Chains A and B, each alone.
Chain A
Amino acid sequence: MWILLFGEMSFFAALFASFLYYRGFDPAGFAEMQKQLNQAVGLVNTLLLLTSSLFVAKAVQAARNADTAHAPRLFMLGIACAFGFILCKGFEYHELFDRGIAISDHTFYSFYFGLTVLHLGHVVIGTILLAIMASATRRALEKPIHLAMVESGACFWHMVDLLWIVIFALLYLVE
């Protein structure tokens, strides 16, 4: 699992580095384009993912203790946060498209849409994994491998969270 996670994290790290590299050629243009983003929505999305990570970490603890009442509920709360994130992202895209902003308008937007759509894909995969884990933990996990699978799925979700932390800093906050 960690090989997959390091692969994903390194791939995104290369994209983060490319963003700053290209930003170096046109810092004023990037700063101007950044003003079009809705920082409040980015902040809400960050808080939603951090909160979902807390729920998922608590769910793993509950699954470890064979707590079949709390583990699925905590995973479902994590899923609710994930849906909140997807809704906010949809709202943000809608807002940008309404203003006539397109991916080809500026290098900043190529990175913005590239990074956020790729990340959104990971959010969707992570949400599906959370749903599977919510269903699996309704009954006590019989074999250690089942618990290991739940832990791996949770780690994937936390990776989605940590990637967004850096994306939020780079796209919305860097000056």
Chain B
Amino acid sequence: MNRLLRDPLFLSWALLVLVTLVSAGIGGPNPVLALESSAAVTVAVLCIAFAKVAVVIFAFMEVRGAPVILRLLCAAWLCGVLAALLALYSGLFA
């Protein structure tokens, strides 16, 4: 058990499972924990999703130890796509 708790991959997985349950609890048609506005739910759900994607990229795909250029490209993809999706949701391009 102690070995598991010191394993970065296991800890990353546990974190991913935890935040998945949180986002499923606040989002969707029948949320367990209802937030006041649907915009707040969407922003929270999308930010959590991209935080999870970041964990997958940097921990599971081992980009954390990759050359700087790959780390920068991954960070740019994450930030760029999240920003575009939030802008589209807010109706910025409508």
Stretch of A42-50, A95-103, A107-115, A124-132 that contacts chain B: A42-50
Task: State the interface size on chain A (CB cutoff 8 A).
Answer: 43
| With known contacts A20-B89, A54-B10, A174–B20 Cβ distance under 8 A | no
Task: State the interface size on chain B (CB cutoff 8 A).
Answer: 43
Bound complex: CA A54 to CA B73 (Å): 23
The dominant DSSP class at the B interface is: helix
Q: How many A-B residue pairs have CB under 8 A?
A: 114
Instruction: Chain A residues near B49: list those with CB within 8 A.
Output: 165-166, 168-170
Instruction: Chain A residues near B30: list those with CB within 8 A.
Output: 39
Instruction: Chain B residues near A20: list those with CB within 8 A.
Output: 85, 88-89
Question: Is there contact, CB below 8 Å, between B28 and A162?
Answer: no
* Chain A residues in the interface with B (C-beta under 8 A): 2, 6, 9-10, 13, 16-17, 20-21, 23-25, 31, 34-35, 39, 43, 46-47, 50-51, 53-54, 56-58, 61, 151, 154-155, 158-159, 161-162, 165-166, 168-170, 172-175
A-B interface, 6 closest residue pairs, ranked by CB to CB distance from nearest = A173-B27, A175-B38, A169-B49, A20-B88, A54-B13, A173-B45
* Chain B residues in the interface with A (C-beta under 8 A): 9-10, 12-13, 16-17, 20-21, 23-24, 26-30, 38-39, 41-42, 45-46, 48-50, 52-53, 56-57, 59-62, 70, 73, 77, 81, 84-85, 88-89, 91, 93-94
